Structure 1
Amino acid sequence: MTGTRPRTRIVELPSRWLRDNMHEALTIYGLAMGYDAGVVAGRYGYAIQHTERPGFRAVGAFAETPEGERLVGFGYGYVIEPGQWWHDQVRAALDRRTAKQWLPGAFEVCELHVHPDHQSQGLGRQLLHALVADLPHPAALLSTPDADTKAFRLYHADGFVDLARGYHFPGDPRPFAILGARLPLHPRDPERANDQA
């Protein structure tokens, strides 16, 4: 039947599975973010290290294809701690009061990506909610390109607020926004969020 979407399922991924399939996941990362193969290859070692961090959690979206199920989206994160690269970058980007309110004990949504062929089907939102569901942390934080993208609109619709805008991480020329949301998530506009990512 033409025009039908493949059936997808969202599952929690064991860290071992993600380590064994990290190349597949990072291919989706590269396509979703518009990064070339060199950037993606350079990310591999860091992503493997992330799976060992405290509070690590990962989720995946699998779609049925004629060849069987395949990964079409994934997300992962862990507890933010001083000394981690992202924590220290974000700490420098935030004023002292904002950092004190948001960073301690928070969960970093480190990666959340959907293959471009499967975007605009609600998978990004499903992955995000599965990733942070029932976490024992006060907040979730993330960074995303500071532009009017599907992902940016999704995060805002799902309760994330701006903590910093126009921040430049080393090695990426694009400005990024640093966003935070209190947990559990409280979407501001669920219908609009369903249409994003």
Structure 2
Amino acid sequence: MDKNENLLETIDILYKQVWNHSIKERLIKHSNYKWFRVYVINSVEGDIIGFSYGYTSSSGQYYHDLISNELSQIEYDRWLVDCFEFVELAVHPLHRNQGYGKLLINELLREVKNKTVVLTTQSNNEIARNLYQDLGWGVIKESFRPENNDHTYSILGKVLI
């Protein structure tokens, strides 16, 4: 198994522990998007503590188009033109509340050259929303419901440049 396959397997194992389903196929697909980035934190023993990833958001991508349908033209121009899409953040349950989430977000975005960054999170996920708010993210839209989804999400954004 090469290094990338091993990393993919490791990320998938953690994702299953956190969200109870696989991320492998989606991660493989997204790894081909423009400016795809992934950041991983491992323990001293080499076990994965957490990861984050994202890419440049572009027309024709599923989530870009889904979000754009929720925004006015002014909001679209402000948030989705020259945008980095923050797709996933996962921290192993035994390592939460130790600053790893902030580190994963900040390190992933450190060299991003896009004007803005957007993400979605479940509207009732107060822990995640507070984390993002502490890092300067603001609400773009509340009560966003992706297709075929029982949960309500919020679209959050942050100006990078």
TM-score normalised according to structure 1 size:
0.75
Equivalent residue for 1:32?
18
Structure 1 runs not aligned, ≥5 long:
1-15, 185-197
CA offset digits 1:88-112 (Å, max 9, x no partner): 0100111221111110111001111
2:35 to 48, 51, 55: 55
SS in 1 for 2:98: coil
What CA distance in whole angstroms lies between the structure 1 residues aligned with 2:5 and 2:86?
A: 17
**1:63–1:91 distance in 2 versus 1, CA, 3 Å:** same
**1:99–1:18 distance in 2 versus 1, CA, 3 Å:** farther
SS in 2 for 1:58: strand
TM-score normalised according to structure 2 size:
0.91
The alignment covers a number of residue pairs equal to 160
What CA distance in whole angstroms lies between the structure 2 residues aligned with 1:29 and 1:167?
A: 23
CA offset digits 1:152-176 (Å, max 9, x no partner): 1010111111111111112431111
Residue 117 of structure 1: CA displacement?
Answer: 1.1
On the 8 A contact 1:72/1:114 being kept in 2, the answer is: yes
Q: What RMSD in Å do the two structures reach over aligned CA positions?
A: 1.7
What CA distance in whole angstroms lies between the structure 1 residues aligned with 2:143 and 2:17?
A: 23
Equivalent residue for 1:72?
49
**1:153–1:103 distance in 2 versus 1, CA, 3 Å:** same
Amino acid at match of 2:13: T
| Alignment partner of 1:181 is 2:153 | no
On the 8 A contact 1:19/1:48 being kept in 2, the answer is: no
Residue 85 of structure 1: CA displacement?
Answer: 0.3
Is the radius of gyration larger for structure 1 or structure 2? 1
| Alignment partner of 1:115 is 2:92 | yes
On the 8 A contact 1:57/1:78 being kept in 2, the answer is: yes
**1:17–1:143 distance in 2 versus 1, CA, 3 Å:** farther
Q: Give matches, 1:11-160, under 5 Å.
A: 17-33=3-19, 36-37=20-21, 40=22, 43-64=23-44, 68-160=45-137
